[in-house]
Amino acid sequence: MRGRVSEHKTVIQARDGHPLAASVFAVEDEEPERVVIIAAATAVRRGFYEPYARYVAANGCAAITFDYRGIGGSLTKPIAEANATIRDWGEKDYPAIIDWAAARFPGRKISIVGHSVGGQLVGVLDNVDRIDSVCTVAAQNGYFRLYPWRQAIAYGLLWHVMPLVARVLSYFPAKRLKLGEDLPKGVALEWARFCRNPLYMIAPDGAPLQKGFEAYEGRVLAYSIDDDLRAPRACVRVLHDRFAKAKVEGRHVAPRELGAKSIGHVGFFFGKFKHSLWRESLEWLRTATTATP
The rounded distance, in Å, linking the Cα atoms of 191 and 194 is 5
Is 260 inside any structural domain? yes
For residue 291, the model assigns a pLDDT of 45
The rounded distance, in Å, linking the Cα atoms of 38 and 131 is 13
The rounded distance, in Å, linking the Cα atoms of 179 and 91 is 24
Residues 224-282: pLDDT tens digits?
999 999 999 999 999 999 999 999 999 999 999 999 999 999 999 999 999 999 999 99
Interhelix angle 149-169/185-195, nearest 10 degrees: 150
Tally the domains of the chain: 1
The answer for 162, left when phi > 0, alpha when psi is -120 to 50, beta otherwise, is alpha
Half-sphere exposure in the Cβ direction for 59 (13 Å, CA): 19
Q: Report the Cα 267 to chain-centroid distance in Å.
A: 14
Is 193 inside any structural domain? no
Is 59 inside any structural domain? yes
- The DSSP code for 162 is H
For residue 179, the model assigns a pLDDT of 86
Is 272 inside any structural domain? yes
CATH number, domain containing residue 30:
3.40.50.1820
Is 29 inside any structural domain? yes
Is 26 inside any structural domain? yes
Is 160 inside any structural domain? no
For residue 292, the model assigns a pLDDT of 39
Number of helices (H) and strands (E), helices first, in the chain?
9, 10
| pTM metric for this prediction | 0.96
Q: 218 with 133: CB under 8 angstroms?
A: yes
Ordered mean pLDDT values, 10 residues apiece, the chain (293 residues):
87 98 95 97 98 97 98 97 98 98 97 98 98 98 97 96 97 92 98 97 95 98 98 98 98 97 98 98 89 41
Is 166 inside any structural domain? no
Range of the domain at 41: 5-142+209-287
Mean pLDDT of the chain: 96
For residue 290, the model assigns a pLDDT of 54
Q: 192 with 163: CB under 8 angstroms?
A: yes
